[in-house]
Amino acid sequence: MNAPTSKHPSYAGDGTAEDVLRWALGAFHPRIAIACSFQHTVLIDLAMKIRPDVRVFSIDTGRLPEETYQCARDIERHFGIRIEWFHPKHDAVEDLMHQNGPFSFRESVASRRQCCAIRKVEPLNRALAELDAWITGVRREQTDTRANAGKIEIDEAHGGIVKINPLADWSYDQIRTYVKEHRLPYNTLFEKGYSSIGCACCTRAVEPGEDPRAGRWWWENPEQKECGLHIRNWSI
């Protein structure tokens, strides 16, 4: 890691997911939170074993599948926590719908990214505004754009706060095994062939042998499949 500062304490080594979380929560709590997209609950389980009062937030785009809301409810009940929800600004969504219609995200990559910017990126910016670090479920095997993700990064897009990716080197099978062995709540869309879950209108099940991210924005090329929440940062 780069030389430590008061905002970015030093961390030595790559470490396991537990090692990284223990360091991050010790260094940044309470100005650190887990970003939960309801892909899995491994991060919450690992973090709560270190700090039961860890903060968890999520972005409600207004277009999430019913199964995702059910998963959120199950998480709150299982862990005894309250998820901090952030929503897109009503006026921005209303303007987008009036100007471009409800299906503009299928017209071009630029139009889809405009929708993501309003429904995801802007709420995330507000969620991170008062934090010094955030914890994500980004994994290197998910997509080409995440292949070089570090476990600890400087998030230049959000004011240079620290971005923690404890599961960067985990596989999909490791995630599923942990969830099963620890009897954690999970999104039931995974039982229906989904391997990555976002908005209902932008996510589909994948066929056997397809890339795990093939069901996200399936009409776009693989190198375009990011919504703006996770852009390339500097690993440290």
- Tell how many helices (H) and how many strands (E) occur in the chain: 7, 7
User: CA-CA distance, 81 to 31, in Å (whole number)?
Assistant: 17
Catalytic pick among 36, 71, 115, 227: 227
- DSSP letter (8 states) at residue 154: E
Distances (CA, A) of 197 to 68, 89, 92, 200: 8, 22, 24, 8
- What's the longest Cα–Cα distance across the chain? 51
* Dihedral, 19, 21, 22, 23 alpha carbons, nearest 10: 90
**Hey, what amino acid is at 177?**
T
- Among 28, 235, 57, residue whose Cα is nearest residue 132: 28
Own/partner contacts of 166-171, CB < 8 Å, gap of 24 or more, are 166/17, 166/18, 166/20, 166/21, 166/24, 166/43, 166/46, 166/135, 167/17, 167/42, 167/43, 167/137, 167/138, 167/139, 168/138, 168/139, 168/140, 169/139, 169/140, 170/17, 170/42, 170/139, 171/139, 171/141
Query: Active-site residue 116, yes or no?
Result: no
Cα distance between residue 92 and residue 98, in whole Å: 10
Report, as residue numbers or ranges, the catalytic residues.
227
